[in-house]
Amino acid sequence: MYKIAAVTGSRRGIGYGIVKELISNNYHVIMSGVTAKEETKEIIEGLRVQGAFVDYVPCNIGEKEDRDMFIEYIKKNYGRLDVHVNNAGTAPKERVDILETTEESFDYVMDVNAKGTFFMCQQAANLMIEFQKSDLENYKPRIINISSISAFTSSVDRAEYCIAKAGISMITKLFAARLSEYNIPVFEVSPGIIRTDMTRAVTQKYEKMIEEGITPIKRMGEPEDVAKCVMAAVSGQLDFATGQVLHADGGFHIRRL
């Protein structure tokens, strides 16, 4: 019996790191992203060569039709969903001062990061509740939402991103409260400064800030640092702490004098 995990936004970066960690813990993983399936062939085949069971479903979580299709695909082809990780997200196409932020940019970021995460949580939760009615072996589902230190740290040149990530924090609390009735824990993992494609252009800037003490642990995080927090959340050891935030940020969240 294999457990099934779904990870949105998992073609690269943090999402891909989470996929690899789940695979190493014997999960069958369904990856997703906005990239067409044929364009991910090399990534998928590379994982399969290593003995992993992986699948890929194109899905823009900001689009209802894509979310519906993604959930239906899992239901039809796998018949269980043990772990759902909402990692998919987007940054503003252009960083703009808060006094000049456009409605178009605001809607673009919120549609994916906040609305998409909310409704993907809803659909995954309803699927898990449905599966609980079946006689599935060792079925203890969990949901993990990936937010950011931007949920509580202001960046006035990407306000829409900060607001959306703050929304994910509340989404986690809301679903943790509602799903407690069904014994489905919900957690938030909050990455800090992580070395990915998204931070490559500003790596030098962040390394200097870290050296100057912005984080107690003096290094950039790696995707596997976030992935290990996800695994802690799905391990079953933290279920009574539903709604908890796991800060994968090198101590950035600690208030210091």
Residues belonging to the active site: 161
Beta-ladder partners of 3: 27
Hey, what are 2's tokens?
A: 């294999």
Hey, what are 16's tokens?
A: 């891909």
CB 232 within 8 A of CB 246: yes
Give SS3 for 221: strand
E strands along 132-179, which residues? 142-146
Distance CA 40, CA 47 (A): 11
Distance CA 240, CA 179 (A): 13
CB 113 within 8 A of CB 171: no
Vertex 24 angle, CA 207 and 148, to 5°:
35
E strands along the chain, which residues? 3-7, 27-33, 54-58, 83-86, 142-146, 186-191, 245-248
Vertex 103 angle, CA 98 and 105, to 5°:
75
